[in-house]
Structures are given as C-alpha cells and as structure tokens.
Amino acid sequence: MATQHPDNAMGSPFSGNRYISNAEEIDECYRCFSELGVGEYMWDWEGKFVDEAVIDRLYQNYHEYFTKNQLGRDKFLTFRIPNIWEETSHRLPRAFMNLISAEHAAKKYGFHSPPLFEVILPMTTRSDQLIYLQKKFREIADATEEIFDMKSDMKHIQVIPLFEEVETMADAFRILEEYIQFLQDEYHYKPEYMRVFIARSDPAMNAGLIPAIIALKNAVSAYHEFGRKHGIKIFPWVGGGSLPFRGAINPENALFAVQEYGGVASLTIQSAFRSDYPLKDVKDAIKLFNTQLPKNLTNYRQISPEESKILKEFNQKSQKYFQEIVEEIAPLINTVAGKLPSHRERVQHIGIFGYARGIGKVKLPRAIKFTGSLYSLGVPPELIGTGRALKLAKDMGIEKLIRELYINLQRDLSHAGHYLNRENLQKLSEKDSIWKTVEGGIDLIEDFIGESIGPTSPHHFIHRNFASNVLQKMEVEEDIAEDVLRAAEIRKSLG
C-alpha cells in the first residue's frame, strides 16, 4: 500500500518535487498503481488536507486505466479517516459522504461498485470508537437517501482499527471481540475477514525500538489466534517507514522486511521508499512484496500465554528507559524538528484543526520529524533506551526469546549505529547528564552485537559531518535547514 507519509528527502519519481500538494496526490495515486505496481493507496484525511473529489478525478483523468483496473475490485483506495476523539470532528461526515457519493459515481459511470468500502481509524484505543463509526455511517447513509434520494447498497463499512500504542496492542484481542459482538447483535453479521493495522512508528516513538517490535509480534500472534477462535480470516497490516526505528521497510531491506514481518498481509510503501531509492529497486521491491507477502501469512512465531505475559512485563519496564530520556531532551528534539521541511499539506500540528503527540508531560513532533531530528543530531533514536532494554532482557532470562522474535535486531542496530556521531554525543553529555545515560546504553548495545558501532563508509562519514554542522551551527544560532536536509538525503529518509 502506497501512503502519503511525507518522509522523503528527495523529489518524487513522478514530478521531481519534494513537496507534494494535495492536487498532485491524484496523479501520484494513479502512477503508484500504474507504474509502481502497488495494489492499494491510502487517501489520508488524518491531520492533512485532501482532495475530496478524488473518485471523480480518477475516473475522469484516467478513465481508460480504471476501466481495465476497477477500483474496489482490482485496485483499492482506502480512506484513513480523522480520529474525532483526537482532532476536530467536522471532517468525518465529509469523509463518510465521500464514500456514499463515490458509490453513486461508480454506478453512474459504469464502474465496479462500491469503489470504497474500507476505512482506517487511526489511534484506535477502544471498541466503542469502532461501534460509533458504524452507527454514524448508517445514520448518514439513511439521511442521504431520505434527503437526496441517493440509496447506498452498503449496509455497513469495513472499519480497520489502527493500533498505535504498545498498551493498546496488548489489549486488542478484547477490543476486537467486543466489536465483533456488536456487529452480530446489531446487524446479525459476522465479517468473513478483518484487516488489523499495526503501527510501527508511533509505538517506537512512545516506547522505544524493542518494545515496539515486541508489541507488534505479540499482536500478530494474538490477531491470528482471534481469527481462529471466531472463524474469521485475519489479515494483519504493518505501517512503517524506511529507517529501522520506523520499520526498516525500504527497497534495500525488502527481503529482510518480509522475513521480519511474518504473518503480515500488507506493508506500507511510504514516500521515502518511492523517492529516495533508484526507481528500478523500488519496483523490484514492490514486486517482491506482492509475490512473497501472501505466502508469508502463516509464517509467524506463535506466542504462548506465558510468553505473552512476560513480554508485556518486559515492555512495561523497558519503555521507561526510553521515555525518561526523551522527556528530558524533548526541547532539543522540537528545536531541530522545526528545521525539517514539510512535504505534504498538513493541517496545523496543534491548534484549531490539529492535535499533539507526546510522552509524559512533554509535547513532541510527529514520528517522521521526531526520528529525523535525532538522526540530524547524530544520535539515532534506535540507540536510546535500547541498551538497558537488552540488559533487562538478559536479567529476566528472555534474551533468547527477544532475539528469536526480533529477527533483524542486530542488523537494525548496526544500520542505525552507522549514523552515530560520537563527538556530538560527547558535547551533549558535557551540557546535560541525561546524554551520559545514552552513552552508557550504547556501550551495552555494542556488548550485545559484539562490535563497535559508528560510521564505516564514506557516506556515513559525510552524514556525521552534517550532524556536526547542525550542532555547531545551533551553538552560534545559524540556520541548520540545509544541513538537516542534506543529511536526510544521505540516509535516504527525512525521518
């Protein structure tokens, strides 16, 4: 699935532009389908502006293509709707009306109907949120029929929960059961299948690298168990970016991503994946995903109740190592994040339309800029809290289990370690003792992987130099925007 996440450092392979306006996203959607070979595209209403005439424009501008590749049958456009419990609610009715009007447009033009039938709810935390959406869609559909004589054949929609918190993932089994019970009681309907979306970026940003992966593996096992119990086909879905902290889903790592995300049916192809790598590699990686992911659906590590319990205990303890550091360094993260460019038309991060992310008492940028700011400083977030988490795993006697579940742990730590700037870390430690805790954690990581981490190739050293520029220029209050962008180009992702 191609998404609109703005993590690209380089220009789009289609337009050459780094910044993609909402008008350009129509063409991007079509070309992701027709040229890159993706099967699905996320139309993202969460925290950003969208072109609400998307179906009309796709049918009008690319009529011949969609005649042969029908939306809702051969290619899929899926809305990520606003979470009204986190941001303003006035855009949700517009998204639902869009589903209904798209159905009527498809019928009018002679296309497959309905072209849109699934929506993603970001930041899902409770079953009543999923239930509320089903009820409101039905009410809007009924009102539309009464007022405009536009009858919808969709009695309900497929709501895909997107779980973004480590704690929520652990409780997802109960949330899904409550939701399924509602569908059966209210509509006398049990879905043949369910797609369950697991975030990689925000769990890592909230809890650290290892807790995010462990929560994901625990969730994949639980979702498949849920499917077996209820006789429902389960298709887990992982949304992640190019850098290890956000998922390590990129063309160079495609085969390893398939290996890491066993039991998963869908992976996201974000902007950096498409823009920051050679086009041939992008197409080859997408072809690999389309071929291998269906075969990989049963290839996952089932986690026993006993293992699940101790892993949850491990996560609760280890995430504190990450959180206590991030809370202390949040002002610096926010300062650097403000110099990273925005490559999509997002609504205000906080204010009238937006909402804030955060840990504890501090507010933070969204995951892309959070990750990019720490890489720009030469201290990748993969290295924060991880060393002590590994020591905890050893002390708890589950180091072998962690290695077994996080298949590419050593590879991911080595990759992130190439972008470590030890000189910057030492300078930061001299000003604030919390960075000494980061230094100690890196020593523990090196003990774990059995090697010293740091730059090894010319482009690693060039990245280190840009990170040095960032810190030095900040001390004399010079602009760092060019340096953070050049560093992002080298690591092939904004964040």
Residue 91 pLDDT: 82
Task: Examine the pLDDT at 353 and tell me if it is beyond 70.
Answer: no
Distance CA 200, CA 240 (A): 5
Confidence of residue 127 (pLDDT cuts 50, 70, 90): very high
208-236 residue pLDDT tens = 999 999 999 999 999 999 999 999 999 99
Residue 347 pLDDT: 59
Residue 350 pLDDT: 39
250-290 residue pLDDT tens = 999 999 999 999 999 999 999 999 999 999 999 999 999 99
Task: Examine the pLDDT at 316 and tell me if it is beyond 90.
Answer: yes
Q: Using an 8 Å Cβ cutoff, are 20 and 8 in contact? A: no
38-86 residue pLDDT tens = 999 999 998 788 899 999 999 999 999 999 999 999 999 999 999 999 8
Taking all residues of the chain, what is their mean pLDDT, rounded to a whole number? Answer: 94
What 3-state DSSP class applies to 196?
Answer: strand
- As a whole-number percent, the residues of the chain with pLDDT over 90 amount to 88
Distance CA 75, CA 77 (A): 7
Amino acid type, 176: L
Closest to 152 in 3D by CA, of 127, 116, 179, 176: 116
Query: For 294-300, which contacts have Cβ atoms below 8 Å and span 24 or more sequence positions?
Result: 294/265, 296/258, 296/261, 296/262, 296/263, 296/264, 297/235, 297/263, 297/264, 297/265, 298/263, 299/262, 299/263, 300/217, 300/220, 300/221, 300/224, 300/262, 300/263, 300/264
Instruction: Write out the DSSP string of 9-78.
Output: SS--TTT--SS--TTHHHHHHHHIIIII--SEEEEE-SSB---TTHHHHHHHHTHHHHHHS-BTTTBEEE
Reported CATH class of domain 24-296: alpha beta
Distance CA 362, CA 367 (A): 14
Q: What are the structural domain ranges in the chain? A: 24-296, 307-491
Confidence of residue 349 (pLDDT cuts 50, 70, 90): very low
pTM for this prediction: 0.95
Distance CA 324, CA 108 (A): 57
